[in-house]
A and B are shown apart, each in its own frame.
Chain A
């Protein structure tokens, strides 16, 4: 089977593509919409907004999430804000500029047409959210406030305190619950996807496990939408929620959906460093901290003095030194990589020596403690709660942590994967952020996909495809369910000695070491062989207590770790086959004379799309060539 990687980018100038496409999309008349059913996996910004909107249109929606309520999806943890090209501050923003910044920020590895559409619908997102009652920050005149975020030259970020993700998610959740109340959405909480059911080449259902009773359920529909988030937890330690997993996307990949650019991961620079072996997750602090904080390390290696005792002249404000024009506000990937360089050079701080300082002393002296507290009070409080140190008194210690995965299932302009009927939204797809995501763009993309794109393109799918009537007695359901059950039994029957978390931690170490902030050929090859070895150990030495027909958290973990053990290998393979540096993917072999990332557009201006061939078989790497007609290819420079 060869992949059909037709991106289906509409004709015409980029400004008109989406309008043209919407007009050409087949419509489903209102009376017929109620005859179609849609499965939506995930209830974050992407899945939640899609479920709500499709139900509003009249489709019958079945919504699935692993948490006890749709409101818990991890979109809730996004702090900073959501971008939109409203240009309310009159500072020169426009759809075009947002488009341009996003393509450039993604280091020219995103599809132009998708990004332009994202910028176009961004304004409607803000309108919709305000109408839902999202309490965005406002100024004294009662109008919406904006801030500059992640080094953007315009103030285009809308925010709700430091809880923007929470407020946007609750907006989508409430819209969903409105439809649940009307009976247009059937809600299935505490369910985990065990398989995607493909019938006659089209996605037609899912096999899920009820995490409370352990029952295996079959659900059939006319289309399946994945809004299941990213796979950052492959690193074990990340800023993702404990339950975030790549399972649904991975099952889709194994069923024939192409997986694009798995190596593009975003490592966020301002996280609280790891404290010890029992650590279960990492906590991110908004990168707005870098607006006032100064990053430094001691000039001397292994300097053990208390930071307050290190005099000014013995400190190296390395970001300000290396990047005089952007200073502490360089993009995430640059800030993260430089922190790693300092630590690798032996200048790390704190007990573990794997951290750098972020200092507010000068800002407090300049603006006063109250002004700093007003801006960052909640973040400082959070930091103190975790570390027992006050950022007002001494510098914070920060270190990068895995935060977001730009890679994901390949989708065309309609957000449809290589499996017809399987649409993928939000972080689970690969489409809009290229090799690096800009701050405040993830929320924008999730909601754009769910509120404004899929309602049109799904109608087009229904309007252009004759879908045979199938039900859950179809042999494909039998087959999927049987396989899923066998896998669960297999986990229980290994009866080895190591827990799922133990394997997960080992995998995390390999990934962080070799497929982390800086990658090289030898390391990636080591990673591949180490992961393969770990995977075979996993299948012979795993220890899972309990049964399948009850709450069994270890069994849930086992399934997720088993997926990660395969996904991690694909990430390493993808990184290996991309010997250029771009965005979040830094190949040591590809640097400029000044040790900056060197992109190689002549050979790698494409998305790599992987085709599954079997767990222990080599997958096939396909390419979708990327054309940059509107944003000329240039090397990023933040000097």
Chain B
């Protein structure tokens, strides 16, 4: 745009897999004429236009808002979730982060809780199941009191907001050496535990959500912190610490099983 754009050629190594039950493989393509001002996904659009013209199957990947907020896009790019830039989703990644003749390896999120549906599209419904287990306040419409009836310290409100910024993309799971979903799960537990509206059920919530997470086949957190480092929304590890506390309290102090 500002005259800084270049046209480059990239070599792509893509994971192709027909569906959930077939085996996948890597396929190589060379794509010419990529503008460094394009986004990474626009580069893949360009690839797909080319593939369709050549009567080849287009490459399937998830994406929707293309402005870094819906959490639909994924992709392990050269071994890093959402690519090399910090706090960036794949849709916000631009081709200026790459050089002419670069080889780019594109893989799906790898986790037994995220089965591959096709190519690099994965099934992340296990995240929804974690939320359904307790990631809410049990308030029905009509129950609410006036919004200003309970003051909330700005510090806690801000911390809750930082945790709530999670977009549920799954990069934490993908980048975790153990494929653990602790950062995702803890962001919600933490957000709601920080607010008086969520405190009522904080222990039960921590207990239920962690149980659901464990059952879904995610790995165990061992504090590598790769999740935090690759999170496009900079969700903090202190959410995991808070969850550990809430969970312990739930398990130790609750008089009910």
A and B touch in the complex (CB under 8 A): yes
Contact with A along B112-156 (1 / 0, CB 8 A): 000001100101110110011111111111011111100111100
B92 within 8 A of A: yes
| B74-91 contacts to A (CB < 8 Å) | 88
B145 contacts A280, C-beta separation under 8 Å: no
A131 contacts B143, C-beta separation under 8 Å: yes
A128 to B197 alpha-carbon distance, docked (Å): 11
Contact with A along B62-74 (1 / 0, CB 8 A): 1111111111100
A386 to B94 alpha-carbon distance, docked (Å): 7
B4 within 8 A of A: yes
Please, which residues of chain B bring their CB within 8 A of the CB of A180? 128, 132
A71 contacts B71, C-beta separation under 8 Å: yes
B151 contacts A141, C-beta separation under 8 Å: yes
A351 contacts B66, C-beta separation under 8 Å: no
A68 contacts B72, C-beta separation under 8 Å: yes
- In whole Å, how far is A38's beta carbon from the nearest beta carbon of chain B? 15
A124 to B70 alpha-carbon distance, docked (Å): 26
Q: Out of A86, A499, A501, A543, name the residue touching B147 (CB < 8 Å).
A: A86
B147 contacts A167, C-beta separation under 8 Å: no
Scoring B18, B147, B151 by chain A CB atoms within 10 A of each residue's CB, the highest score goes to B147
- In whole Å, how far is A379's beta carbon from the nearest beta carbon of chain B? 12
Which stretch of A102-110, A171-179, A249-257, A514-522 is in the interface? A171-179
B18 contacts A178, C-beta separation under 8 Å: no
B154 contacts A142, C-beta separation under 8 Å: yes
Which stretch of B35-43, B99-107, B218-226, B237-245 is in the interface? B35-43
A241 within 8 A of B: yes
Please, which residues of chain A bring their CB within 8 A of the CB of B127? 69
Scoring B46, B164, B191 by chain A CB atoms within 10 A of each residue's CB, the highest score goes to B164
Q: Out of A137, A239, A350, A388, name the residue touching B157 (CB < 8 Å).
A: A137
Interface size on A, residues (CB 8 A): 85
- In whole Å, how far is B45's beta carbon from the nearest beta carbon of chain A? 6
B192 contacts A189, C-beta separation under 8 Å: no
A283 contacts B118, C-beta separation under 8 Å: no
Known: A127-B145, A131-B143, A177-B135. A279 touches B198 (CB 8 A): no
Q: Out of B19, B121, B125, name the residue touching A69 (CB < 8 Å).
A: B125
A133 contacts B49, C-beta separation under 8 Å: no
A132 contacts B72, C-beta separation under 8 Å: no
B165 within 8 A of A: yes
A382 to B94 alpha-carbon distance, docked (Å): 12
- In whole Å, how far is B99's beta carbon from the nearest beta carbon of chain A? 15
Which stretch of A3-11, A550-558, A612-620, A621-629 is in the interface? A550-558
A174 contacts B136, C-beta separation under 8 Å: yes
B123 contacts A68, C-beta separation under 8 Å: yes
A133 to B134 alpha-carbon distance, docked (Å): 13
Please, which residues of chain B bring their CB within 8 A of the CB of A181? 132-134
Please, which residues of chain B bring their CB within 8 A of the CB of A126? 147
Please, which residues of chain B bring their CB within 8 A of the CB of A187? 128
A551 to B158 alpha-carbon distance, docked (Å): 41
B37 contacts A499, C-beta separation under 8 Å: no
B151 contacts A142, C-beta separation under 8 Å: yes
A553 contacts B58, C-beta separation under 8 Å: yes
Looking across the interface, which residue of chain A has its beta carbon closest to that of B92? A385
A387 to B92 alpha-carbon distance, docked (Å): 11
A302 within 8 A of B: no
A385 contacts B94, C-beta separation under 8 Å: yes
| A112-167 contacts to B (CB < 8 Å) | 124, 126-144, 160-161, 163, 166-167
A283 to B41 alpha-carbon distance, docked (Å): 14
Contact with A along B171-194 (1 / 0, CB 8 A): 000000000000000000001100
- In whole Å, how far is B85's beta carbon from the nearest beta carbon of chain A? 8
B55 within 8 A of A: yes
Contact with B along A234-247 (1 / 0, CB 8 A): 00000101110000
Please, which residues of chain B bring their CB within 8 A of the CB of A140? 154
A70 within 8 A of B: yes
A451 within 8 A of B: yes
A74 within 8 A of B: yes
A163 contacts B165, C-beta separation under 8 Å: yes
- In whole Å, how far is A243's beta carbon from the nearest beta carbon of chain B? 5
A138 contacts B154, C-beta separation under 8 Å: yes
B2 within 8 A of A: yes
A67 to B69 alpha-carbon distance, docked (Å): 14
A144 contacts B147, C-beta separation under 8 Å: yes
A253 to B238 alpha-carbon distance, docked (Å): 51
A136 contacts B71, C-beta separation under 8 Å: no
Contact with A along B4-43 (1 / 0, CB 8 A): 1100000000000011000000000000000101110111
A551 contacts B117, C-beta separation under 8 Å: yes
A452 to B144 alpha-carbon distance, docked (Å): 13
A56 contacts B65, C-beta separation under 8 Å: no
B145 contacts A142, C-beta separation under 8 Å: no
A133 contacts B124, C-beta separation under 8 Å: no
A144 to B70 alpha-carbon distance, docked (Å): 26
Known: A72-B70, A163-B69, A276-B35. A174 touches B147 (CB 8 A): no
- In whole Å, how far is B76's beta carbon from the nearest beta carbon of chain A? 17
Q: Out of A86, A132, A138, A241, name the residue touching B139 (CB < 8 Å).
A: A132
B141 contacts A130, C-beta separation under 8 Å: no
Please, which residues of chain B bring their CB within 8 A of the CB of A177? 128, 131-132, 135-136
A52 to B92 alpha-carbon distance, docked (Å): 32
A278 contacts B42, C-beta separation under 8 Å: yes
Please, which residues of chain A bring their CB within 8 A of the CB of B167? 166
Please, which residues of chain B bring their CB within 8 A of the CB of A550? 18-19, 118
Please, which residues of chain A bring their CB within 8 A of the CB of B138? 178
Q: Out of B53, B63, B145, B148, name the residue touching A131 (CB < 8 Å).
A: B145
Please, which residues of chain A bring their CB within 8 A of the CB of B55? 545
| A454-493 contacts to B (CB < 8 Å) | 455
Known: A143-B148, A279-B42, A546-B57. A133 touches B66 (CB 8 A): no
Q: List 28 A-B contacts (CB under 8 A).
A: A52-B141, A68-B124, A69-B125, A69-B128, A72-B64, A72-B71, A73-B70, A127-B147, A132-B136, A137-B161, A138-B157, A139-B154, A144-B148, A163-B165, A167-B161, A175-B141, A241-B70, A275-B1, A276-B38, A278-B43, A283-B67, A386-B39, A452-B141, A501-B49, A545-B57, A546-B58, A550-B18, A553-B58
Given contacts A135-B158, A175-B139, A350-B1, 19 further A-B contacts (CB under 8 A): A56-B140, A56-B141, A68-B123, A127-B144, A129-B147, A130-B147, A131-B143, A135-B161, A138-B151, A177-B131, A177-B135, A181-B132, A181-B134, A241-B64, A242-B63, A276-B1, A388-B37, A550-B18, A551-B118
Closest A-B pairs by Cβ, 8 of them: A142-B151, A174-B136, A131-B144, A127-B144, A135-B161, A181-B132, A135-B160, A551-B118
Residues of chain B touching chain A, judged by Cβ–Cβ distance below 8 Å, are 1-5, 18-19, 35, 37-39, 41-43, 45-46, 49, 52-53, 55-58, 60, 62-72, 88, 92, 94, 96, 117-118, 121, 123-125, 127-128, 131-141, 143-148, 151-154, 157-158, 160-161, 164-165, 167-168, 191-192, 195, 197-198
